[in-house]
Chains A and B, each alone.
Chain A
Amino acid sequence: GENVEQHPSTLSVQEGDSAVIKCTYSDSASNYFPWYKQELGKGPQLIIDIRSNVGEKKDQRIAVTLNKTAKHFSLHITETQPEDSAVYFCAASPGYNQGGKLIFGQGTELSVKP
């Protein structure tokens, strides 16, 4: 089955710097790759997603890139702010999916220091 690996597990940056989180997946048939942000005590919230027919997608300070050949995708946050501090999860939707199931990475705890 699909397996998603995420690195790093923790990331600390200064306010205004960029943050990059990387994920790899194992199932070459996976076709949908969302990123979720989870704040303490809350449920995960979708922040951006990308599909397998697109190489890059950007939404203001957040961008995601996908390399299907290498089976990895990355989240880029520019001009980080303290409110970006949270745990970020990548996920992949397996190609064999019967509908909607996501396999998540282990999470990255991002800390943005003012």
Chain B
Amino acid sequence: NAGVMQNPRHLVRRRGQEARLRCSPMKGHSHVYWYRQLPEEGLKFMVYLQKENIIDESGMPKERFSAEFPKEGPSILRIQQVVRGDSAAYFCASSPLARKNTGELFFGEGSRLTVL
């Protein structure tokens, strides 16, 4: 059973460009969470999605950031007009529907965004 798959693992963008980060949850998992980790800091919650629904986006910046989890395909975190402060590691996690209230999350290896 493959784990949570994130790509790209590393992404370099210039200021003003767009970044798209993709996440495929573990097989059988229908809940996806995105977290951001700034250098030498902890993991900050961004957004929680189920298929075709955003459940909790309380950690998402109000502008330039969006997330989706379509019926088919991976979840995508999109950052428009990137700035240097967006440089971070972005982690995706998933959990299975049947245990959605346990809090046990399975993390991917992360996508490391560098903004020049």
B-binding residues in A (CB < 8 A): 1, 6, 32, 34, 36, 41-46, 49, 89, 91, 93, 97-107
Contacts and interface: CB of A to CB of B under 8 A. Distances in A.
Interface stretch (B11-19, B39-47, B69-77, B78-86): B39-47
Contacts of A107: 41-42
Contact of B48 (A32, A45, A99): A99
Nearest to A92: B103
Interface string B25-37: 0000001010100
A104 to B, nearest CB: 4
Pairs of residues from A and B, 7 with the lowest C-beta to C-beta distance, nearest first: A93-B103, A43-B107, A32-B103, A99-B100, A104-B43, A106-B42, A104-B42
B1 interface: no
A112 B74 CA distance: 38
A99 B108 contact: no
Given A106-B41, A107-B42, A100 B109 contact: no
B102 A100 contact: yes
Nearest to A46: B104
Contact of A43 (B33, B55, B95, B108): B108
B42 A101 contact: no
A95 B42 CA distance: 21
Interface of B: 4, 31, 33, 35, 41-45, 48, 55-56, 58, 91, 95, 100-110
A102 B55 contact: no
Given A93-B103, A97-B103, A44 B109 contact: no
B102 A101 contact: no
B25 to A, nearest CB: 12
A99 B42 contact: no
Given A43-B91, A106-B41, A99 B107 contact: no
Contact of B42 (A34, A97, A98, A105): A105
A99 B55 CA distance: 9
Contacts of A44: 43, 91, 107
